[in-house]
Structure 1
Amino acid sequence: MLKTINVVAAIICDGFNSKTKVFATRRGYGEYKGWWEFPGGKIENGETPQEALMREIREELTVNITVGSLIKTIEYDYPNFHLSMDCFWAEVESGNLELKEAEAARWLTKEELDDVEWLPADEILIDKIKAEM
């Protein structure tokens, strides 16, 4: 039986009411180096998914975010673990986006979402994001 890893991801948009682009990062490490994903990370004991997301984004991108609605919870089996990923809309509340872990980042319009190579679990979300943009 695969170990389950619970994570959160922020689909940071340019505004909750007028989503014209979303922020994506390219992994700078690990076996999926160079693949694109939505920023986020693991939920620590005692944290709500929203608290985990705010902390992770502060650590990875040095900004404070407002967490919006849950878009979808993705369940995905990678070869060595099962990923359970809560994906939330988010917008930058304060600060400037600064990459601490990723090797690159882009703001992508609805039309550009298919231009990058997404991690398999993140790929599942793309059609749902397009539908809400």
Structure 2
Amino acid sequence: MQEIHVVAAIIEKDDKFLIAKRLKGEFKDLWEFPGGKVEPGESCERALIREIQEELNIHIEIQEFFINVLHKYPSFVLNMDCYICHMEDKKITLHDHSDIRWISLDSTDAISWVPADIKVIDAYKRRILND
């Protein structure tokens, strides 16, 4: 089974974090942490900066590695490295998503998540609640 290596950004601001709604594909209209595929020979950090620039037209500062999630879908395995980030820009321009939201932890249960991102949000809740 094919494994796809991706990166995702948990972009924090004022006790909230950014989520993005998928514009197309198998998971259209579901919410996720923005990011994308790691290209051959590319570091995860470089891939994340590039993907966020391409998808949201913003620059991010990566604060720290957060979690690696492996999630088995019917046709592939997703290997996702997630990073805590902050954005350096104020204006977001959507290229690969239909919407974005800044949400707090108490609103995560009402979100229709991409399946792999459920593991990320569960770990993020544990982290924040234990801090």
Q: In structure 2, which of residues 42, 53, 56 is the aligned counterpart of residue 47 of structure 1?
A: 42
Q: For 1:52-71, what aligned pairs fall within 5 Å after superposition?
A: 52-71=47-66
SS in 2 for 1:124: helix
Number of the residue aligned with 1:11: 10
Cα distance in 2 between the residues matched to 1:116 and 1:53 = 23
Moved more, 86-95 or 72-81: 86-95
What TM-score comes out, normalization by structure 2 length?
A: 0.93
Equivalences for 1:40-119 in 2 at 5 Å? Answer: 40-119=35-114
RMSD across aligned positions (CA): 1.1
Paired with 1:129 and 1:35, the residues of 2 have a C-alpha distance of: 18
* Per-residue deviation, 1:95: 4.8
SS at match of 2:17: strand
Describe the SS at the equivalent of 1:76. strand
Moved over 2 A (4+): none
CA contact (8 A) 1:58 1:64 kept: yes
Q: Which has the higher helix share?
A: 2
Q: Percent identity?
A: 39
Partner Cα separation in structure 2 for residue 37 and residue 88 of structure 1: 13
Unaligned residue ranges in structure 1 (runs of 5+): none
Tell me the number of residue pairs that the alignment of Structure 1 and Structure 2 aligns. 128
Whole-angstrom distance in 1 between the partners of 2:66 and 2:108: 16
What is the alpha-carbon distance in structure 1 between the residues aligned to residue 3 and residue 119 of structure 2? 18
